[in-house]
Amino acid sequence: MIIEPALRTGSVKEYYFSVKNRELAKINAERSSRGEAPVINLGIGAPDGMPPKSAIEALTAAAPKKGFHKYQSYTGIPELREGFAKWYERYYHVTLNPETEIRPLVGSKEGILLISMTFLNPGDKVLVPDPGYPTYTSASLLTGAKMVRYDLLEEKGWQPDFEALEKMDLSGVKIMWTNYPNMPTGGKATRALYQRIVDFGRDHGILIVNDNPYSFILTDEPLSIFGAEGARECCLELNSLSKAHNMSGWRIGMVAGDADLLSEILKVKTQMDSGMFRPLQEAAVAALGEGPEWYRSLNEEYRRRRVEAGKIFDLLGVKYNADSSGLFLWGKVPEGVSDPSRTPGEVISDEVLYKAGVFITPGFIFGKNGEHFIRVSLCAPVETLREAQQRIKDHICR
């Protein structure tokens, strides 16, 4: 390189799935040369279903309109903010002011970095769940913040151990990341859990950022942290159309919270983009207007897939919760699986990949508490999950 990269880049690595996809491409080329079918990729959680018909129709209707291809408002069109507000009122039973308490995002993942850049200084501390979404850590590290990991454990139902948290040195902690239904574990939110998280944030002066994109997937009732008393004093919530509407590639998200907090985030956001493409916003409004039947149909399919993913774990001797929520099934590998150079989850993942041509995510990428676990994405049709079962039966004996 002609110049050295910024020091901050040394604190993070390339995203695991970016690296893994290159490896899978190489493996697929080798398999093709041998006349073998491609690897079945059960790794990343990218919904494979179609978006609502209403969204596609709104997109195509808006695309030819004059003026819709110009720069757009940084705060989104009023109809989109109102659409998000009505969505929250209808399904979460939470009232948000669309003028001041909602801001659209180019996907909720953007929000993780925006929030980190807005509120964190070098040396500030951040509470990050272990296991948890790796971007919470990487976004924080890019700002120079220090990680304070808090355990999510199977025996606690993948919920924070608040007694352990209270014993930690919380001086200098500015942000706590939470995420339910939890990725990767499938742990569920409850009203009591959200209330306890909010109380913890208020007691310690910590900004709680709840990442909520899975709240419609395999849950009987979607919940928002803003349903808890006092949440507006200490919380932000990220949400998205990616999972609940099969629109991950559209990059349509939002952040909700106190007007003053959102004003600070907007300062940073306006330096990074020039608003969302207007036809996408029109499509999002349509998608947000979908009725309960959309979510029922979505979850009927995911329930079928969860059963088939469980059969993969059964073949591998992996223990799991058959009633978990979210887009993944999370399972603990059998006792005795070990290798001095790899975590137990990696051992199983590598064996299934190289012997059976099926990729399952090893849990170590989500933190130390994930080392004995593997994760299967439910973003594959039942037929594909059954083909994965057959490959494992044919090539792996446990």
pLDDT of 312-323, one tens digit each? Answer: 999 999 999 999
Q: Where in the chain is the domain with CATH 3.40.640.10?
A: 53-290
pLDDT for position 397: 61
Superfamily of 7-49+293-395 according to CATH: Aspartate Aminotransferase, domain 1 (3.90.1150.10)
Do 286 and 54 form a contact (C-beta atoms < 8 A)? yes
pLDDT for position 118: 98
Q: Where in the chain is the domain with CATH 3.90.1150.10?
A: 7-49+293-395
* pTM for this predicted structure: 0.95
Lowest mean per-residue pLDDT among 24-28, 109-113, 224-228: 24-28
Per residue in 169-202, pLDDT tens?
999 999 999 999 999 999 999 999 999 999 999 9
Of 337, 377, 384, whose CA–CA distance to 360 is shortest?
Answer: 377
pLDDT for position 9: 81
pLDDT for position 47: 96
Instruction: Measure the CA–CA gap between 335 and 328, rounded to whole angstroms.
Output: 22
Instruction: Measure the CA–CA gap between 104 and 102, rounded to whole angstroms.
Output: 7
CATH dotted code for 53-290: 3.40.640.10
Q: Is the dihedral of CA 81, 82, 85, 91 positive or negative?
A: negative
